[in-house]
Amino acid sequence: MKRKTVVAILAATLAITPLAGCKGKTESGAPSGEAAKKEGQVIAEVNGDTITTSDFKHELDNLPPYLKPMADTPEGKKELLDTMVVRELILQQAKKDGLDKSPEVAAKLEELKKRVVVEAFLKKKVEEQASVSDAEMKKFYDENKDKFKTGAQVKASHILVKSEKEAQDVLKELKGGASFEELARKHSIDSAAAKGGDLGWFSKGSMVPEFEKVVFGLKEGEISGIVKTKFGYHIIKLTGKRPAGIRSFDEVKEQIRAALLPAKQQEVFQKLKDDIKKNAKISIKEDVLKELGGKAAPSQTTPAPAPETK
């Protein structure tokens, strides 16, 4: 990915994340700065305010998974920090202009606070109450075994780089005993880098032909040479093999849980809504609601069918 694209994505992402290096008050109401010491080493000072390693890690943790590998390179780290510095400068200037005290900002902050509190409440309640039991998963498995038939599958990891020279350098490090997973996190340019290059389980027909031809010919634990595809240069490690057949319950248990959980969560959410409204005093002003206008709901009546003629 080109440098400008990396910068643009990071900038857009950080524009909507919490401001890490700003002054203000802590949750207890005490002023920041000396009264609330920041954790970590200082990596940047911006007109007297500081950005620490803890701030930087917080920003990195909040990036979407597909962006984290970009920010894990020296260039990416530099761009990430630069964006944090620019954002801090904008915040400082906005405060000088009094924008932080404007009614518009106060109203938006209050609305945001309401949304965050409601989201936290629902998340806590739903996570506490929505669970899928082993018995429910086993029942689903027993009644749907045909859904878990697969052909022969392999599990693999890879390191993807742009040039053959880079691939040769990585391969040399691997032969010297370096960790495949660590090199994938450091060098690979695709989203699997964040997981040490892990691509999970897949069957034939899932990957490009050049990649597939090599991976299905490897022995478990074996590392390939350099494999060129339209995406770049790969080094592949086979981490597992399993024959065709019906996957065991243990193999698909988490897959079943993920499939059943949304319905459970919706059920809990609906019950939560009903329970929370049960003892509340609610009065809906239908006349006021009607005055808000909008399109009328489509008629629920349908014309009677014409009588049959003989």
106-126 pLDDT, tens digit per residue, is: 999 999 999 999 999 999 999
Domain shared by 158 and 225, yes or no = yes
pLDDT at 292: 86
- Categorize the per-residue pLDDT at 304 as very low, low, confident or very high, splitting at 50, 70 and 90: very low
CA 236 to chain centre: 25
Q: Is 69 contained in some domain? A: yes
* Mean pLDDT of the region 141-145: 95
Note whether residue 109 is domain-resident: no
Which of the two residues, 24 and 149, has the higher pLDDT score?
149
pLDDT value at position 200? 94
pLDDT at res. 4:
55
The confidence score (pLDDT) of residue 73 equals 78
Q: Is 181's pLDDT higher than 50?
A: yes
Which of 104-108, 157-161, 264-268, 297-301 is least confident?
297-301
Count the domains in the chain.
Answer: 2
The pLDDT of residue 226 is above 90 = yes
pLDDT tens, position by position, 44-55:
999 999 999 999
Q: Write out the H or E segment, with its range, that includes residue 284.
A: none
CATH number, domain of 219, equals 3.10.50.40
Q: Quick one: pLDDT at residue 19? A: 42
87, 163: one domain: no
- Per-residue pLDDT, 167: 96
My answer on whether 159 and 86 are in the same domain is no
> Which two tokens mark 127?
């996570």
Predicted local distance difference test score (pLDDT) of residue 266: 93
Read off φ and ψ for residue 25, nearest 5 degrees.
-120, 150
* Rounded distance between C-alpha atoms, residue 176 and residue 82, angstroms: 36
- Give the number of other CB atoms < 10 A from CB of residue 159: 31
DSSP string, 66-127: TTHHHHTSHHHHHHHHHHHHHHHHHHHHHHHTTGGGSHHHHHHHHHHHHHHHHHHHHHHHHH
For residue 90, give the amino acid letter: I
Range scoring the smallest mean pLDDT among 73-87, 208-222, 285-299: 285-299
> Which domain covers residue 35, as residue numbers?
3-97
Averaged pLDDT, 192-213: 94
Q: Which residues of 111-129 are buried (b: 16+ CB within 10 A; e: fewer)?
A: eeeeeeeeeeeeeebbeee
Residue 204 belongs to some domain of the structure: yes
**Within a domain: 225:** yes
Which of 195, 213, 243 is the C-terminal boundary of a domain?
Answer: 243
Position 196 pLDDT exceeds 70: yes
Asked whether residue 297 is domain-assigned, the answer is no
Q: Is the pLDDT of residue 7 over 90?
A: no
pLDDT of residue 3: 54
